[in-house]
Structure 1
Amino acid sequence: MKRVVIFASGSGSNAENLIKFFHNIDNVAVIQVMTNNPRAKVLERCKRLNISALAFNRVAFSKSDDILNILKLQNPDLIVLAGFLWKFPNFILDHFNNRVINIHPALLPKYGGKGMYGMHVHEAVVANNEKETGITIHYVNENYDEGAIIFQAKCDVLPSDTPEDVASKIHLLEMEHFPIVVNDLLNE
C-alpha cells in the first residue's frame, strides 16, 4: 500500500480531488492532511471525507522536529503540497529526499518564487500579456519553485481573459492532471 500525506494551506480543492481520486484505488491511501492554517477550509473537507487532518504552527514545522517525527511515523511514499504556502524545511526534505512534490499555477520557471501563488500568479500572467500559462508539478527543493519539473500542462490566455478567467482554466488543469501525475509517480 502506497501512503500519501498532503500539505495544504487554503480551501483544499486539490486535496479533496486527490482524496476522492485515490479512494477507490486499492494500492494507494491518503493517510493524512496537514495544514499550517487552523482556519483552512481543507479541514472541513477532511472532516466530511473522513480523512485525518492536523493543523500545526511554524514552531512545530520548522523550529522543532515535531512534524518531521510525525512524518517519520507515517512513513509516506509521497508528500504532496497542494496549495501549501510555507517553504519546506531542509531537514524534512533531506529525510524525504525526492518524495516531496508541489503543484504550481504557472509554467515554471516563469512566475515562480516567494510570493508567487494563487491570484498573484494569474494577475502577473494577465498583466504581462502572456499568450499561454499552465501548471507545473515539480519536486520540492531548498528554493521556492526551483525543483526538477515532473510535468507541465498548458492552456491559452486570451487577450480578453481576466485573472479570474485564468484561475478557472488553471483549476481545470489541476483537477485533470494532478491525481494522474501523483498516481504515476507512486507506481514508477
Structure 2
Amino acid sequence: MTESKKRVAILISGRGSNMTALIEAAKAPDYPAEIVGVFANKPDAGGLQTAAGQGIATAWRWHKDYPSRTGFELALSDVLKLWRPDIIALAGFMRILTPEFTEKWRGRMINIHPSLLPLHKGLHTHAQALADGAKEHGCTVHFVTPGMDEGPTILQARVPVLPGDTPETLAERVLVEEHRIYPEALALVARGEASFSG
C-alpha cells in the first residue's frame, strides 16, 4: 500500500453490500483509499465474515451491552484508535451517533442513504417515495453531521419510479446505483476533491 492512500474504516450493522462494493473498489492499484477495518454494532452482522474473508481486520461491540450511546462510542473509538482511519464510511450502520462523535469526525465521516436527500430521510425510504407518488428516486452519499441524513451531499444517483414498482423492486434498482456511487464518492473524499464546507 502506498503512503498516499487514505485509511478507511467501515461501520456496518448487517450484510454490508455497500461495504463489499468499497472493498472491491479499493483493490484497484490506483484507488486512493485502503480499507483498514470493518466494525459492526452486533456480533451477527454478516459483513464481518465477508470482510474477514478478504483479510481485513474486523471488530464488533454489541451496542446493547452499553447503557448509553456515549459508552458504546467510547468502545468504538478504542477500536478506531488501533486502526487509525483517516475516513469513516457508514455502510448500513443502524445507530444514531452522538453530536460529540460526529463533530470529532466532521468532514471525515460519510454515509450512503437510499433516497434523494433531502427527500425521504430515515427508514423505509422506498415506501416513502412510492407513498409520495415520486417520479424518481435514488441514493445520496453525504458527509455525516449531528442531524440525521442532513450533511452536505457528495454524490447522488437517480432512478425512475416505474409503474407497478414495489418498495422491493425500487430498492433493488437503487442498490445497484448505491454500489456504483459509494466507491466514487469515497475516492473523491480520499483525493480531497470533495470536502466539508458547511
Stretches (4+) displaced over 4 A: none
The aligned counterpart of 2:196 is none
The 3-state SS of whatever aligns with 1:181 is helix
Q: Do the aligned residues in 2 keep the contact of 1:6 with 1:34 (CA within 8 Å)?
A: yes
One-letter identity of the residue aligned with 2:188: D
One-letter identity of the residue aligned with 1:182: L
The 3-state SS of whatever aligns with 1:184 is helix
Task: Please report the TM-score for the alignment, with normalisation by the length of structure 2.
Answer: 0.86
- What's the RMSD between the two structures over aligned residues? 1.7
Once the two structures are TM-superposed, the CA of residue 47 in structure 1 deviates from its matched residue by 2.2
Q: Do the aligned residues in 1 keep the contact of 2:86 with 2:108 (CA within 8 Å)?
A: yes
Once the two structures are TM-superposed, the CA of residue 42 in structure 1 deviates from its matched residue by 0.5
Q: Give CA-to-partner distance per residue, 1:31-57, whole Å, 9 cap, x none.
A: 000111211110121122121111112
One-letter identity of the residue aligned with 1:69: D
Once the two structures are TM-superposed, the CA of residue 61 in structure 1 deviates from its matched residue by 5.9
Equivalent of 1:4, from 3, 8, 14? 8
Q: Which runs of 5+ in 1 are unaligned?
A: none
> Matched residues in 1 for 2:70 and 2:33: separation?
28
Once the two structures are TM-superposed, the CA of residue 80 in structure 1 deviates from its matched residue by 0.3
Q: Give CA-to-partner distance per residue, 1:46-85, whole Å, 9 cap, x none.
A: 1221211111122296325222233234221110001111
Q: Which runs of 5+ in 2 are unaligned?
A: 193-198
Q: How many residues align?
A: 183
Equivalent of 1:53, from 53, 58, 62? 58
The aligned counterpart of 2:104 is 95
Once the two structures are TM-superposed, the CA of residue 149 in structure 1 deviates from its matched residue by 1.4
Task: Please report the TM-score for the alignment, with normalisation by the length of structure 1.
Answer: 0.90
Q: Give CA-to-partner distance per residue, 1:79-131, whole Å, 9 cap, x none.
A: 00011110122232232221111000001111103xx1xxx111221222210
The aligned counterpart of 2:71 is 63
The aligned counterpart of 1:36 is 41
The aligned counterpart of 2:116 is 107
Equivalent of 2:85, from 72, 76, 80? 76
